[in-house]
A and B are shown apart, each in its own frame.
Chain A
Amino acid sequence: MAKRKHVLPGFTLSLGYTILYLSLLVLIPLAATFAKTMELSFEQFWDIVTAPRVVASYKLTFGASLIGALINAVFGLLTAWVLVRYTFPGKKLIDALVDLPFALPTAVAGIALTAVYASNGWIGSLLEPHGIKVAFTPLGVVVALTFIGLPFVVRTVQPVLEDLEAEAEEAAASLGANRWQTFYKIILPAIWPALLTGFAVAFARAVGEYGSVIFIAGNMPMVSEITPLIIITKLEQYDYTGATAVAVVMLVISFLLLLAINGLQWWSAQRQIASR
């Protein structure tokens, strides 16, 4: 009967402002992309988004993102483990620098990685004699996407690893488990949701990444051209509908990834609560 009243002040103001700002700057502009694609018939839309050059870019973007995220899952977990469990000189500095790819502008990362991994660069020149070319090949794309995804796995796994109780591991040891068994039967299941979340975030970021990739990729059509670059190229040719059609495909995939990440985070939080 009585209206639900909020006792703390500012609810209408803060929520109203939040929704207004969100709608004006994010939701309505995003809706514009969908509205723009409505100008196309479904066949036209389908032809644009399945053109061979575009499909090749999907394969590269998603393939390289997946490999990058997998590399980060393995080495990110390892880094988080080392930072939480061990002490060694320079640990604090390294812990702080893990966030660098997130704070460093992507264009700077792009030119720096290119300089290092080009055939005359510090690392590139070491790989060249073995016939491995990194810069200006799909391998370069993987390197760039690994770089930008690096903080996410570390930063999602690290707090969960810190909260693990030593008692569970002691119990496992007292029951006769060796260290490896304890790791994959006790520790890994506990950090699994966080690891998956970190993996998914790294993947999602990599899929949309532009700045760090275009310098190192070489951008050859069909070979080392990522999907965001396709959008830019179409825009520069004033092909707005074409650019928007490809953008819509990427947007839909981003939405799905975001939903998956939210689901994983929810799962992770449930685990945390249940273990308390």
Chain B
Amino acid sequence: MAAATTISQYSRYNAKVARNRATSEPVWIRWALIGISLAFLTLFLFIPLAAVFTEALRKGFETYIAALVEPDALSAIQLTLVAAAIAVPLNLVFGVAAAWAIAKFEFKGKSILITLIDLPFAVSPVIAGLIYVLIFGLQGWFGEWLSDHDFKVIFAIPGIVLATIFVTFPFIARELIPLMQAQGKEEEEAGLVLGASGWQIFWKVTLPNIKWGLLYGVILTNARAMGEFGAVSVVSGHIRGLTNTMPLHVEILYNEYNYAAAFAVASLLAFLALVTLALKSFIEWQTARSAQINEASADE
């Protein structure tokens, strides 16, 4: 059909234009640029990454495993998982709510709201920890009330969770807002005209359209939540086996010159980061592929 040709023309137009001599560089410049770029990335990225794993295994595989299964390490891993398990769902609900309000409605002060959501990203993690100390610490606003009721926030798990929420606050919302804005609200309106309720529209129309972006937001939030150091360091109190998360455990081991153990725990976190990046690439590949398949089959 005639309309189908327009689609395929569009995809051809969108495809990378084969570059000719007028719009590309001589071969030697090309390779020189690639070389400089790779050298830079090697110095700042690849070597440090490789160092994490070699240092971790320097004293052999047994020392490596031993560093991971000793009780303090296990309790740090457990606490890290607990903090992430609370912070990520809370920020998930917030991110979806914020993106829904911002992407689907017009209201005054919207750009201020977006800036405020971005705020935790611009604030130093150390300050993120400090603000909760000022509120819930012993000399803080609620300090006295909390100690009267024998409830600890600072130097305890609630403080760690709060700090983690703060530093991972914007990621899901930032991922979803542009995505949902780009998708517009026509599909939701169509659902509405066809008689769907608000929740039905969200579950059946909106969610399937944003699922990949949402998933990426969640894994990124998770990676940052598990790896947060500065903010958690301020509120944790560094009590071994009680309020140490994995990154704090790494610090303690490192400061005790127990490098092999420090890097062993660090390698777990680095592995988590690599898995996050792999999932991200997979998601990008998945979205690109489904777009391609759709366009290709429209050619018939």
Contacts and interface: CB of A to CB of B under 8 A. Distances in A.
Q: Do chains A and B touch in the complex (CB under 8 A)?
A: yes
Contacts of B120: 26
Contact of B273 (A36, A104, A147): A104
A276 interface: no
Interface residues of A, number: 92
Interface residues of B, number: 100
Contacts of B250: 107-108, 111
Interface stretch (A9-17, A46-54, A191-199): A9-17
A146 B273 contact: no
Interface stretch (B1-9, B23-31, B66-74, B207-215): B23-31
A122 B47 CA distance: 8
B25 A108 contact: no
The main secondary structure of chain B at its interface with chain A is helix
A218 interface: no
A103 B274 CA distance: 8
A203 B81 CA distance: 31
A69 interface: no
Given A112-B52, A173-B23, A208-B126, A258 B117 contact: no
B49 interface: yes
B51 A11 contact: no
A10 B198 contact: yes
B94 A18 contact: yes
Contacts, number: 286
Interface in A28-78: 28-30, 32-33, 36, 75, 78
A150 interface: yes
State the main secondary structure of chain A at its contact with B. Answer: helix
B48 A109 contact: yes
Interface string B113-145: 101111110111111001111110101110000
A29 B34 contact: no
B280 interface: yes
B239 interface: no
B281 A240 contact: no
Interface string A215-239: 1000000000000110110010000
Interface of A: 6-11, 13-15, 17-19, 21-22, 25-30, 32-33, 36, 75, 78-79, 81-82, 85-86, 88, 92, 94-109, 111-113, 115-116, 121-123, 143, 146-147, 150, 166, 169-170, 173-174, 179, 182, 204, 207-211, 215, 228-229, 231-232, 235, 240, 243-244, 247, 250-251, 254-255, 257-259, 261-262
